Amino acid sequence: MQTVTGMAEALADLGVTDDTLSAEEKRRLDEDGFLPLIGLMSAERLAQLRERTDELLELEGAQAGHETPQGGGVRALADLLNKGEIFEQVMVEPKVLAAAHRVLGDFRVNSLNYRGSLPGQGHQGLHGDWNGAVEPGDFHILNSMWMLDDFTEDNGATRAVPGSHRSGKWPTDEMADPADPHPRQVYLTAPAGSVVIFNSHVWHGGTLNRTDKPRRGMTMSYCRRDEPQQLDQAAHIRKVVYDRLSPATRFLLDV
Ligand SMILES: O=C(O)CCC(=O)C(=O)O
């Protein structure tokens, strides 16, 4: 099989162009640090993702999520790119790839995980997915939340502080307790099947699930190509998965 040697070639093969994001979408991603894509998934894809993640939770039992632990209050799954062909489509969504390229430059897959906030749990302090504040523009990770349920203010929708990725500050620089509400926070609410792309340096976090059902979401994230991946994809990839991936997708995974 042919190989792909550079980012531009991989993105072109995967159908990403300068116009994949509209001017307004680029502006929102740059300024707010997040971009909701309402109803991005087809009903069929949403049903398949729900079915497969429910099945994996059942199959993996107490082991679920062990590859990349995600803290308490959730049911988690990790290494999803190795656990079903349906997940491979998630990794190559053109709008998310275009956003990753815009924010990170050359990038690779970081991880695909599942996070289901349990009833009565799920609240997190505001954080960036990094170890501290960065200079505006010096971004390392981009994430996307794939909503498998409606995300509402009641069931633990992710909250985010618009523009905080450009502040050069960390939540503790202006909050006594990052678990508190922030005066400028917004809830990233949207119907099931939507995807919210977010610059991982925007201050964000899950919120309390006040309902009696889990709030299910998957996080598909990308890191700058010179950063370590959350899950070392080359070390984990199964041969059957590797064999069916296109050269561009292998380049994305860096396998
Ligand atoms: O589940 C969510 O709403 C956000 C999760 C998150 O920010 C994290 O685990 O770092």
> Taking residues 65-88, what's their average pLDDT?
90
pLDDT tens sequence across 232-244: 999 999 999 999 9
The answer to whether 14 and 172 are in contact (CB under 8 A) is no
Cα 110 to ligand 1 centre (Å): 15
Within 10 A of 255 (CB to CB), how many other CB atoms are there? 18
The residue whose CB lies within 8 Å of the most ligand 1 atoms, and thus the one to mutate among 118, 124, 155, 197, is 124
123: DSSP letter:
-
What is the rounded distance in angstroms from the CA atom of residue 207 to the CA atom of residue 48?
26
Position 71 scores a pLDDT of: 75
pLDDT confidence of 1, banded at 50, 70, 90? low
Q: Which of 47, 219, 39, 223 is nearest to 117 (CA)?
A: 219
| CA atoms of 206 and 4, how far apart (whole Å) | 37
Ligand 1: residues with CB < 6 A are: 70, 115, 124, 129, 158, 204-206, 217
| pLDDT mean over 144-173 | 98
| Residue 124, pLDDT score | 94
User: Which of 167, 202, 174, 209 shows the shortest CA–CA distance to 186?
Assistant: 202
**124 C-alpha to ligand 1 centroid (Å):** 7
Tell me the average pLDDT of the chain: 96
Nearest CA to ligand 1 atom 4: 206
Mean pLDDT of 22-29: 98
* Across 33-55, average pLDDT: 98
Residue whose CA is at the smallest distance from ligand 1 atom 1:
206
Res. 6: pLDDT tops 70: yes
CA-proximal residue: ligand 1, atom 2 (nearest): 206
The stretch 57-69 carries a mean pLDDT of 90
The predicted model gives 178-188 an average pLDDT of 98
Calculate how far, in angstroms, residue 12's C-alpha sits from the geometric centre of ligand 1: 30
CA-to-CA dists, residue 81 to 102, 111, 221, angstroms: 23, 8, 12
Atom of ligand 1 nearest to the CA of 115: 1
Indicate which atom in ligand 1 lies nearest the CA of residue 207.
3
With H, G, I as helix, E, B as strand and everything else as coil, classify residue 26: helix
Q: Residue 74: its pLDDT value, please? A: 86
- Mean pLDDT over 204-233 rounds to 97
pLDDT given at position 5: 85
Convert 167-197 to b/e letters by CB count within 10 Å (16 or more is b).
beebbeeebeebeeebeebeebbbebbbbbb
HSE-CB of 179 using CA atoms within 13 angstroms: 5
Tokens of 244: 């069916």
pLDDT (average), residues 60-81: 88
Residue 69 pLDDT exceeds 90: no
Phi, psi of 7 (to 5 degrees): -60, -45
Beta-strand (E) ranges in the chain?
34-37, 74-77, 107-117, 141-147, 159-160, 186-187, 195-199, 204-205, 215-224
The alpha carbon of residue 132 and the mean position of all alpha carbons in its chain are separated, in whole angstroms, by 19
In the three-class reduction of DSSP (H, G, I as helix; E, B as strand; rest coil), residue 108 is classed as strand
